[in-house]
Amino acid sequence: MEWITLLALVLIAISLVVGLWWFYNSSLFPESTELLPQFFLPDDQFLTLSDDFKIRYWQMGKGKDVVLIHGLGASVYIWRFVIGILARKYRVTALDLPGFGRSSKNKVKYDLDAQTKRLLEFLDILKIKNAHLVGSSMGGALALWLGRAAPERVKKIVAMAPATDSSLVKLPISLLHSQRKAGARFFETDFVKNKILSRVLYNKNLFTDENKKFYFEPYSGNPNAIYSFIEALRLIKDKRLPGSLRNLDKDVLLYYGKFDNMVPLKNMESLDKLLPSSQLFIDDRAGHHPMEDSPETVSKEVLAFLKS
pLDDT in tens, 134-181: 999 999 999 999 999 999 999 999 999 999 998 898 788 888 888 777
**Domain range list for the chain:** 42-166+224-307
Residue 11 has pLDDT above 60, yes or no: no
Instruction: Indicate the pLDDT class of residue 219, thresholds 50, 70 and 90.
Output: confident
Residue 78: per-residue pLDDT:
97
Residue 261 to residues 20, 91, 200, 288, 301, Cα–Cα distance (Å)? 14, 32, 7, 6, 22
User: Which of these ranges, 10-19, 27-36, 134-143, 155-164, has the smallest mean pLDDT?
Assistant: 10-19
pLDDT tens sequence across 242-266: 999 999 999 999 999 999 999 999 9
Residue 136: per-residue pLDDT:
99
Residue 31: per-residue pLDDT:
53
Cα(98)–Cα(103) distance, rounded to whole angstroms? 6
Cα(230)–Cα(218) distance, rounded to whole angstroms? 14
Cα(71)–Cα(31) distance, rounded to whole angstroms? 21
Residue 15: per-residue pLDDT:
39
The residues, ordered by sequence, that sit 6+ positions from 282 with a Cβ below 8 Å of its Cβ are: 256, 257, 258, 265
Nearest CA among 30, 6, 90, 64 for reference residue 261: 30
The residues, ordered by sequence, that sit 6+ positions from 297 with a Cβ below 8 Å of its Cβ are: 283, 285, 286, 290
The residue among 301 and 218 whose pLDDT is bigger is 301
pTM, whole model, 2 decimals? 0.88
Residue 16 has pLDDT above 60, yes or no: no
Residue 35: per-residue pLDDT:
54
Instruction: Indicate the pLDDT class of residue 301, thresholds 50, 70 and 90.
Output: very high
Nearest CA among 168, 163, 96, 101 for reference residue 136: 163
Rounded mean pLDDT of the chain? 88
How crowded is residue 116: how many other Cβ atoms within 10 Å of its Cβ? 17
Residue 28: per-residue pLDDT:
44
Instruction: Indicate the pLDDT class of residue 37, thresholds 50, 70 and 90.
Output: low
Residue 176: per-residue pLDDT:
87
Residue 183: per-residue pLDDT:
65
Where on the phi/psi map is residue 190: left (φ > 0), alpha (ψ -120 to 50), or beta? Answer: alpha
Cα(110)–Cα(222) distance, rounded to whole angstroms? 17
Nearest CA among 182, 181, 211, 177 for reference residue 196: 211
Instruction: Indicate the pLDDT class of residue 22, thresholds 50, 70 and 90.
Output: very low
| pLDDT over 70, % of the chain | 86
Residue 141 backbone phi and psi in degrees, to 5: -65, -40
Residue 134: per-residue pLDDT:
99
Q: Which CATH superfamily is domain 42-166+224-307 in?
A: Alpha/Beta hydrolase fold, catalytic domain (3.40.50.1820)
The residue among 188 and 93 whose pLDDT is bigger is 93
User: Which of these ranges, 182-191, 207-216, 219-228, has the smallest mean pLDDT?
Assistant: 182-191
Instruction: Indicate the pLDDT class of residue 268, thresholds 50, 70 and 90.
Output: very high
The residue among 108 and 34 whose pLDDT is bigger is 108
Residue range 53-67: average pLDDT? 98
pLDDT tens sequence across 112-133: 999 999 999 999 999 999 999 9
